[in-house]
């Protein structure tokens, strides 16, 4: 191997300029691949809101209105969910593990003289995953909060900053009591608020919210945690059956589809991951095509090299070089060029990703009514770097094989007779 490397080194030194120019085509190809995949990842990360964990299978049920008169009930009658619907939903099918509700209202939060109006969401702990609430300090509502009807509240950074005054670190609010209306709540967690530019969202346990709304407010949403239902068709059949059953339960037309709106996290996750898969494949193909032009360049140069070295190969053959050893010489040279320059390209590509992440990846874009991240965490993982390296070696081999075969095939007398 050492001999082979020193052989290749000495021949590469012969043609420094040509080797470098050829290599740059490969470097460029790899830079393109890494930047494309890196920004593609950034786009997808932003799309998935940076949460790639497996989300619990849930169906969110939102109330609607009847779309036609039925059995004495007028068109336009609102669906109103109560705790009875939670019990009904849990008993509806053994596929439903649990049903929980959301109770939402708005109120004034106050600390001393500072006040903020916020939406108050009485929620179940599982909402954290469904809404992808990101806690920056403290924790979210948990099961014991729910059980104990704790007066605990999770507020967002903006609310915290406004309550404390601008120059204060929001995390100082953790553990302190603020008033919701006139009831004191302990701040147990602070969540990131960057995704929405206005509107304040605070979370309290569902059970606590219920005690505050004795006037009998309706549930804004029911969340069903379910099991099984792997296929899309199964999910749809389940959803239809559920709609019919709950319509019947409320005395509505079973066939009325407007009374409830269902959102299936499992199915929408599937859709998103399908879109991401397609996007990722498309990016690889684009990158690969770019790399291909680099490979063709290397292959061409290797062909010229072989032609120039035909006399030398003749000498080597006369001295006892087997076709295989000539072939190896050329292929390894080709792999060496692609791997070396490809590696350089990979490093440049990763640096480019790093700068992109620090610029467009770190600043939300203003799209008029709100700010949002188009890119998030631009960059490639170790696995992509590894795949790209493998791709390079394969590419180098492919680029070398045709020239190598030509070099190995030429008969020694013809090679010796060749012009030098």
Partner 1 sequence: MLIELKDVNKTYFGAQPLHVLKGINLGIERGEFVSIMGASGSGKSTLLNILGILDNYDSGEYKIDGKLIRDLSEAKAAEYRNKMIGFIFQSYNLIGFKTAVENVELPLFYQGISRHKRHTMAMEYLERLGLKDWAGHYPNEMSGGQKQRVAIARALVTKPDIILADEPTGALDSKTSVEIMDLLKDLNEKDKLTIIVVTHESGVANYTNKIIHIKDGVIGQIEENRAHDSVKFGSEGPLK
- Locate 233 and state its tokens: 């068709």
Q: Alpha carbon 401 to chain centroid distance? A: 38
| Residue 412 within binding range of partner 1, rule CB under 8 A | yes
> Cβ of residue 22: shortest distance to partner 1, in angstroms?
19
> Cβ of residue 400: shortest distance to partner 1, in angstroms?
19
> Cβ of residue 28: shortest distance to partner 1, in angstroms?
29
Which residues share a beta bridge with 111?
114
- Burial label, 34 (beta-carbon count in 10 A; 0-12, 13-18, 19+): buried
C-alpha distance from residue 19 to each of 173, 288, 402 (Å): 63, 21, 18
Q: Which stretch binds partner 1 (CB under 8 A): 2-10, 54-62, 77-85, 151-159?
A: 2-10
Residue 187 neighbours by CB under 8 Å, 6+ apart: 138, 152, 153, 154, 155, 160, 173, 174, 175, 176, 177, 178
| Residue 10 within binding range of partner 1, rule CB under 8 A | yes
Q: Tally Cβ neighbours within 10 Å of residue 118.
A: 21
Q: How far apart are CA 96 and CA 89, in angstroms?
A: 7
Task: Show contacts with partner 1 in window 158-177 (CB under 8 A).
Answer: none
Q: Which stretch binds partner 1 (CB under 8 A): 78-86, 232-240, 320-328, 359-367?
A: 320-328
| Residue 316 within binding range of partner 1, rule CB under 8 A | yes
Q: Which stretch binds partner 1 (CB under 8 A): 128-136, 218-226, 314-322, 388-396?
A: 314-322
> Cβ of residue 343: shortest distance to partner 1, in angstroms?
25
Nearer to partner 1, 386 or 413 (CB): 413
Dihedral sign computed on CA atoms, order 13, 300, 298, 329: negative
| Residue 322 within binding range of partner 1, rule CB under 8 A | yes
> Cβ of residue 43: shortest distance to partner 1, in angstroms?
49
| Residue 304 within binding range of partner 1, rule CB under 8 A | no
| 315, 365, 370, 390: which one binds partner 1 (CB under 8 A) | 315
- Locate 24 and state its tokens: 């740059």
Residues forming contacts to partner 1 in the complex (CB under 8 A) are 2-3, 10-11, 13-14, 312, 314-325, 411-413, 416
């Amino acid at each position: 191997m050492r001999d082979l490397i020193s052989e290749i080194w000495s021949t590469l030194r012969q043609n420094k300029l040509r080797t470098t120019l050829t290599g740059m085509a490969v470097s460029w190809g790899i830079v393109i691949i890494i930047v494309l995949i890196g920004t593609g990842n950034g786009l997808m990360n932003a799309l998935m809101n940076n949460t790639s964990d497996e989300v619990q299978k849930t169906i969110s049920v939102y109330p609607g209105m009847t779309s036609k008169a039925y059995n004495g009930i007028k068109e336009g009658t609102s669906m109103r969910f109560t705790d009875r619907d939670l019990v009904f939903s849990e008993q509806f099918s053994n596929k439903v593990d649990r049903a929980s509700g959301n109770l939402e209202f708005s109120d004034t939060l106050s600390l001393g003289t500072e006040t903020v109006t916020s939406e108050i969401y009485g929620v179940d702990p599982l909402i954290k995953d469904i809404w992808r609430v990101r806690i920056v300090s403290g924790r979210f509502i948990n099961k014991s909060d729910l059980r104990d009807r704790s007066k605990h509240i999770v507020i967002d950074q903006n609310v915290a900053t406004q309550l404390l005054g601008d120059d204060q670190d929001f995390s100082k609010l953790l553990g302190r009591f603020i008033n919701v209306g006139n009831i004191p709540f302990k701040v147990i967690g602070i969540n990131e608020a960057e995704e929405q530019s206005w509107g304040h969202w605070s979370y309290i346990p569902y059970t606590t919210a219920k005690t505050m709304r004795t006037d009998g407010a309706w549930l804004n949403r029911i969340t069903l945690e379910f099991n099984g239902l792997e296929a899309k068709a199964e999910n749809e059949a389940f959803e239809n059956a559920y709609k019919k059953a709950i319509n019947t339960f409320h005395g509505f037309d079973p066939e009325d589809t407007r009374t409830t709106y269902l959102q299936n996290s499992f199915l929408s996750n599937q859709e998103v991951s399908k879109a991401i898969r397609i996007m990722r494949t498309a990016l690889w193909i684009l990158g690969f095509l770019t790399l291909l032009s680099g490979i063709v360049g290397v292959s061409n140069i290797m062909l010229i090299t072989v032609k120039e070295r035909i006399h030398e190969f003749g000498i080597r053959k006369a001295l006892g070089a087997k076709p295989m050893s000539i072939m190896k010489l050329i292929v390894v040279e080709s792999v060496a060029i692609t791997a070396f320059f490809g590696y350089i390209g990979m490093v440049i590509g990763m640096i480019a990703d790093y700068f992109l992440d620090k610029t467009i990846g770190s600043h939300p874009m203003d799209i008029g009514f709100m700010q949002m991240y188009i890119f998030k965490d631009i960059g490639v993982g170790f696995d992509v770097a590894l795949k790209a390296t493998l791709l390079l070696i394969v590419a180098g081999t492919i680029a070398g094989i045709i020239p190598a075969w030509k070099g190995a095939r030429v008969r020694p007398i013809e090679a010796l007779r060749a012009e030098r």
